[in-house]
Amino acid sequence: MKDKSITLKSQKTNLDLWLIGTSLILVLIGLLSIYDASVVAAFRDFGDKLYYFKNQLIWAGLGIGAIAFFSFLDYHRLIKIAPIFLAVSVVTLIVVLIPGVGTEINGARRWINIGSFTFQPSEITKLALILYGTAIISKFEKYKIRLTDAIIVFFLPLVIPLALVLIQPDLGTALIFIGIILTVYFIGRAPLWHFVLGIPSVVGAVMLAILSEPYRLARLKSFADPFHDPLNTSYQINQILNALAAGGLLGVGIGASRSKFAFIPEVHSDAIFAIIVEELGFIGAIFLISLFLFLIARTIAIARRASDTQGKILAMGISGLLAIQILFNLASIVALVPLTGVPLPFISYGGSSLFVTLASVGILLNIKKQS
């Protein structure tokens, strides 16, 4: 009886209630924000003002189930099948490019439709990259990481999904992929000079990708000068900045946003933070950002206390994924970087993104339970 009580107490101690609670609060905020921001577009496009909200609610339910499932699944098993997971992800990235299979929206093929079910393969690939990177870099734990070995077994396989998302085209996700890869490699204690050597290559590749597509170059010009083309390429960022300015300190009030009335394109997805700030003001923005910072702090704490190297690298990879996406989204909204189409975790509309984010939370809980 005494041993049973000790076991139950140990399980309770290893269950990170702060991580679970913060994640669920962010999911709730995301659902409410999507309902608020999308009612006009949903009624205009589908005749149902709850269309986007109901879809996201279904994915939120699946995501909560994913938290439970992955919190009980030993993360070492995931790492063992990481190469298979990555291979399957690459196949889906190829399938999405096939006409008639992949759905094309605004010239980009990023989604696969199966009946009424839609998912974005690149979101699943983000987690596959973290798992594969963890599986490979953890094998170097007792050995010196040589650049040639790292290129062959670590970087080359990861270049394939990177190239496929650029073909879609989706530069924002490609940048997230690069961030994930470098985070895992850095946490794996790679020599600093590897990064110094690789920086020119990364910068050169990004600039080449920007110059190869006219719309990307136009976005870069709009970033440099928001008034460059106010009725076309600069329109979205100008409307976003207007929404932020309208929010002031305390906001215009919940539901009172004017920008959601078709002023900001795709307002319920990548630009949803602008509506939150417009309605809740600077105070609301600080509250949401504080929740994100607390969440990242919890993920880092889990990584530091992980029982082995694989757990540390995997947890920090997930932490890096969340932090990079949050930073990219918020920075683009306030015009610190060009608009990249990166979703805000937990908040932006997108079922695949929400599901993968919540599955990642489940993996973090499993790492915490084994620490």
pLDDT of residue 166 exceeding 50: yes
Confidence grade of residue 29 (pLDDT, cut at 50, 70, 90): very high
- Condensed to tens digits (0 to 9), the pLDDT of residues 174-229 reads 889 988 988 888 887 777 767 777 777 777 777 777 766 666 676 777 666 666 66
**pLDDT of 68:** 94
> What tokens were used for 230?
């106010």
Chain-centre distance for alpha carbon 229? 29
Please state, in angstroms and rounded to a whole number, the distance separating the CA atoms of residues 103 and 122: 14
Please state, in angstroms and rounded to a whole number, the distance separating the CA atoms of residues 285 and 298: 20
**pLDDT of 118:** 79
pLDDT of residue 104 exceeding 80: no
pLDDT of residue 1 exceeding 60: no
Q: What value does the mean pLDDT take over residues 105-119? A: 73
- Condensed to tens digits (0 to 9), the pLDDT of residues 295-305 reads 999 999 999 99
**How many Cβ atoms are within 10 Å of 286's Cβ, its own excluded?**
12
**pLDDT of 152:** 79
Please state the φ and ψ torsions of residue 292, each to the nearest 5 degrees. -65, -45
**How many Cβ atoms are within 10 Å of 206's Cβ, its own excluded?**
15
pLDDT of residue 6 exceeding 70: no
**pLDDT of 143:** 63
pTM for this entry: 0.88
Q: Taking the domains of the chain in order of start, what are their residue ranges?
A: 19-369
Contacts of 161 (CB under 8 A, 6+ apart): 86, 89, 90, 93, 122, 125, 128, 129, 177
- Condensed to tens digits (0 to 9), the pLDDT of residues 263-313 reads 777 788 888 999 999 999 999 999 999 999 999 999 999 999 998 899 999
Please state, in angstroms and rounded to a whole number, the distance separating the CA atoms of residues 173 and 195: 21
Q: What value does the mean pLDDT take over residues 331-345? A: 85
**pLDDT of 232:** 64
